[in-house]
Amino acid sequence: MVCLGNICRSPIAEVIFKKKLLEAGLSWTVRSAGTNRYHKGGPADARAIEVCRGKGMDLSAHIARRLTPADFDQYDVLFSMAADVTEEMQGIVGDESKMSRVRGFMDALYPGQARSVPDPWYGGAQGFVECWELIERASERWIEILRAEG
């Protein structure tokens, strides 16, 4: 799960996806990262921690990290939260062919539309609730899609 700062969207996606996988009895490995280094080593945004807490999920132990070229080898699928994130990912991976592992996270709900998960960073708490709910819907759909793909 990849976003810009690894403090809002991708940590929320990581915790939701992990919970959905647990419920589905699947043991896939999920991790998150950001394309920038501004928040590296720090916690998730307090508003992200709060919205997750309200939904019964604990994000308090999250430590932001930056996406590395090695992540493109380690993971079968890299979900980009937004169009600008995908551009940044290209800059990090270097090898263009490895971008084939990248999928737009919103494509599960809106195929072919190249939509982004709106960045809640500049807004208030309501934006985080909407972000959480959108990510939950996409996570459920992605698990169906990935299972069908085998």
Which residues make up the interface to ligand 4NP (CB under 6 A)?
A: 3-9, 34, 38, 119, 121
Exposure string for 20-45, b = 16+ CB within 10 A, e = fewer: bbeeeeeeeebebbbbeeebeeebbb
d(CA 89, CA 3): 9
Q: Which residue is nearest to ligand 4NP (CB)?
A: 5
Write down the catalytic residue from 45, 71, 107, 119: 119
Annotated catalytic, 3?
yes
Helix (H) or strand (E) holding 105: none
Query: Which residues in 31-124 belong to E strands, given as ranges?
Result: 33-34, 78-80, 102-104
Residue nearer to ligand 4NP on the CB measure, 34 or 104: 34
Residue nearer to ligand 4NP on the CB measure, 43 or 140: 43
Query: Minimum distance from CB of 53 to ligand 4NP (Å)?
Result: 17
Tell me the β-bridge partners of 104.
80
Comparing CA positions, the residue from 80, 72, 76, 87 lying closest to residue 13 is: 80
Query: Minimum distance from CB of 124 to ligand 4NP (Å)?
Result: 14
Annotated catalytic, 73?
no
Do residues 132 and 51 touch, judged by C-beta distance below 8 A? yes
Residue nearer to ligand 4NP on the CB measure, 38 or 110: 38
Residue nearer to ligand 4NP on the CB measure, 5 or 104: 5
Write down the catalytic residue from 8, 9, 45, 131: 9
Annotated catalytic, 9?
yes
Query: Minimum distance from CB of 3 to ligand 4NP (Å)?
Result: 3
- Where in the sequence numbering do the catalytic residues fall? 3, 9, 119
